[in-house]
Structure 1
């Protein structure tokens, strides 16, 4: 079977695993406010005022939403073992199969327990794919474009959100349970495409080398980076670096999760984990899951299109990161994003605090989570601020939260380390998905204050403790950490905030490519003679 080595094809196919997460976000945010969903899972009975189905209460709805990230936490942990044992590509394929199984159960759900079980299984898939897709791409990409290709995972998530949202929007015009069963069933298709697409893609060369499959590793590098020439300088350079790294790592400790907590690794572990934790504490996924609640408070509860605009903004504003993330580096986008998100969360908190009134039974809302009502110009400002918040997250913490952890670790622990970091993402995703409906119900606008404080803390933490990793080989990234003990936060003798985006690797790759082209011309001239 022919194996494709174009890095754009490899990245575009593998990041479909990220799109699965996006499908889940939209499949809840676009559906939880609809009558067919509420009537199928009508735990509260009918509203005595309007006679309409009220659906699950805010606590139970939080649990239903949180079931997926709960399963994702477990899937992310498991993925480290799967990836190290079976390979990066195979573990992603296993995730695709699990997604199909979970989607069948969700689509056929007759009651809340069945729905929760299906979402937990879907979560296992998302946890595996979200952890191992960045590892796979990071180990097969050229260093100068690694940020772009890993960032495509976030772009795939935004596309998944947008596509599923508009599927749900179109299905909302269908009567009965088909309004939500149809999109829940259609979300199986991308997972099937992911599984089939990966069958014609190569395995990670670094994983192959780790398993002493050196000929296969060189063949992958030749296919992907050498354009079919096994003697290409860039192939020789990467093979030498990988061989040196593998031999060094085999002389050191065995790989386990406990190694990530040892003094020589604790700094990288803490940075990777907090990158994923902060990406959740921005409040972005909360805005996605429960955007229908926010817009209902602003007087747009019956119209799904304002939410659709937010999802389109998310897709479009991720594109600049795909183009320029490697030029920007990692630190600067994360710092700018944290500042802007803090600002817009604070604006929303202030607008709701000053201009909203408490919701009353006369408003006819079916859930206590819709605890405020705001109208007029302040309501429009809430919507505008929400859009700007999304536009701030999309090119900054969105792609960086997947790119950065995958770059931090040496090869022997990369699979487990990224899995641990990603599990932190899902643990906090679970907590926030469960927490936000009761939070809106009990502390109303102060929920926004909490997220503004988180964004401020994120800015400070990033500035002082997150080093720059852009445009370095994975082996060079591992080498920049200076092991001064468990309390060390220094990198090659300089503080994190003084590390720089070294773009010399781009010049090196260009020189290697130029050398290859020059050699090719010389060979062609010799053959003519």
Structure 2
């Protein structure tokens, strides 16, 4: 099997954890809007619905914290198992819920498991990936989030259409389906290799070398790239140990580390403030603003998720060619444009006749699909790609964990305030996302350097040798890994020449 194919298969399987996150994001809006749910839980108020949504991301906040503290001890694979098993428990509790308190508990526990998975999976993918396909591999996180959300949308659409409003299967079946991929992930992840960087950090050097060879050279431990990569990882970890980089405090004390932490926090907060979570959680409520009922809203949202998958596939195919920085900037501007149209349509819709309303509905749908494509190709994917690649081995788990904490904190806030905000402010609420998308674009233009093709062990160099303000700076150096590989190849050629002589 080709090494790139092997890496891709590992990345695809690990992304089942990302699928769970997307599924739970997509399923809850349809579940809580179903007639059976409303009847069973006695027509819950907007703030109670908000709590059902936001307590999941509240649990995920603590899950990301747990993962950051445990993965350096347990390893990447065992941390994935922990997250998947916790998610199974939460999924079972949600499916069997008899009252809102019961449901809150299941949502919180499932969120805890998802927080662990969402933090660890892109980190694991980045650590097994060759630099030339690292963006493609870590971009699978957002692709599988999209696949999960799409599956959820059509599952809830199907149960809403085919089960009577008096049958709790309308919402129990969609909530129960998510347990299956979680169980598969927990059962089979140990069949795949541990992160070679984690192995090296725990002094399992021989195993790390053989893992690198299997990942990047079809098992050839004498391959010049593998030997160069092994030596570079070993030297980087030794340097980190000698300079105390294993401390969480290093993220705040070291200027280059702190710069990366600020970027990751801004990236994750900015992603949530694009407005994507408001759309995912409350699609039926948003579609009501333009006269669409719950069943039809779920169908339209399913189409929207398909556009999102198209964007995510584009990321996987092209991100290692086009880079990270400019797609992120342009993606935020596209999202801002979409919300301008959305707000305008919702504002005008009640004041025009049926013919114009029909045209406005299609305008609303098209720009919603444009948003989903643009977000998924850029902001959504890159908020997982960039944090997983810019930290060094010793601080990576802490840095990615803190980024996830910020993401889930903002996600929880959006989940809690969106339903009441739509009730009270209507179209004006969506102007918030226009402003945030524009400020995101300006921030990333000013402060985010390009990381395409930079080996993980050379990110320290990149962030130490460039200033905070990025425009006008150029990166023209050859990577140290490429230089080391060339030196090893030259030594090997010289040795062969001497043997022949």
Normalised TM-score (structure 2):
0.91
| Equivalent residues of 1:317, 1:394 under 8 A apart | yes
Once the two structures are overlaid, the 10-residue window that deviates more, 27-36 or 147-156, is 27-36
Q: 1:291 Cα shift?
A: 1.0
TM-superposition CA deviations, 1:203-228 (whole Å, max 9, x none): 00001111111111111101111211
Deviations 1:232-262 (CA, angstroms, capped at 9, x unpaired): 1111011110111011001112533332222
Query: Is 2:120 aligned against 1:139?
Result: no
- Matched with 1:278 is 270
Shift of 1:476: 1.2
Q: Does 1:27 align with 2:27?
A: yes
Equivalent residue, structure 2, for 1:300: 292
Does residue 343 (structure 1) correspond to residue 328 (structure 2)? The answer is no
Q: Deviations over 1:376-426 (max 9, x none)?
A: 322221222211111110111111010011111111110111000111100
Q: Does 1:213 align with 2:198?
A: no
The residue aligned with 1:466 is 448
Aligned mate of 1:269, from 228, 249, 261 = 261
Could you say which residue in structure 2 is the equivalent of 1:324?
318
Contact preservation (8 Å) 1:468, 1:500: no
**Correspondence for 2:37:** 37
Offset at 1:507? Answer: 11
Q: How far apart are the structure 1 equivalents of 2:271 and 2:44?
A: 28
User: What displacement does 1:32 show?
Assistant: 2.1
Cα deviation for residue 355 of structure 1 reads 3.6
Deviation at 1:492, TM superposition (A): 2.7
Q: Distance in 2 between matches of 1:93 and 1:356?
A: 50
Shift of 1:496: 1.6
Distance in 1 (alpha carbons) for counterparts of 2:128 and 2:56:
29
Runs of 4 or more consecutive aligned structure 1 residues displaced over 6 Å after TM superposition: 501-507
Structure 1 contact 298–380 (Cα < 8 Å) conserved:
no
Supply the distance in 2 between the matched residues of 1:288 and 1:194 (Cα, whole angstroms).
Answer: 24
Q: 1:16 and 1:62 mapped to 2: Cα distance? A: 26
* Residue of structure 1 in register with 2:411 after alignment: 429
Determine if contact 2:274/2:437 at 8 Å carries over to the other structure: yes
Change (3 A) 1:170 1:503: farther
Tell me the residue number matched to 2:386.
404
* Deviation, structure 1 residue 356: 3.2
CA contact (8 A) 1:81 1:416 kept: yes
SS at match of 2:471: helix
The equivalent of 1:361 in structure 2 is none
Q: Which is worse superposed, 327-336 or 344-353?
A: 344-353
Q: How many residues are matched? A: 479
Q: 1:474 to 1:377 in 2, by over 3 A?
A: same
Local SS of the residue matching 1:6: helix
Higher deviation after alignment, 494-503 or 400-409 = 494-503
Structure 2, unaligned stretches of length 5 or more? Answer: none
- Asked whether the 8 Å contact 1:344–1:385 carries over to 2, the reply is yes
Residues 352-363 of structure 1 mapped to structure 2, 5 A cutoff: 352-356=346-350
Other-structure match for 1:154: 142
2:113 match: 125
- In the alignment, structure 1 segments of 5+ residues that lack a partner are 43-54, 359-373, 483-490
State the shift of 1:263 in Å: 4.0
SS in 2 for 1:257: coil
1:371 aligned partner: none
TM-score (norm. length: structure 1): 0.86
Q: Which residue of 2 aligns with 1:46?
A: none
Q: Per the alignment, do residues 494 and 20 of structure 1 end up closer, same or farther by CA in structure 2, a change over 3 Å counting?
A: closer
- The verdict on how the C-alpha distance between 1:459 and 1:169 changes in structure 2, with shifts beyond 3 A counting, is same
Task: String of CA shifts for 1:245-296, please: whole Å, max 9, x gaps.
Answer: 0110011125333322224221111001111111100001211111111222
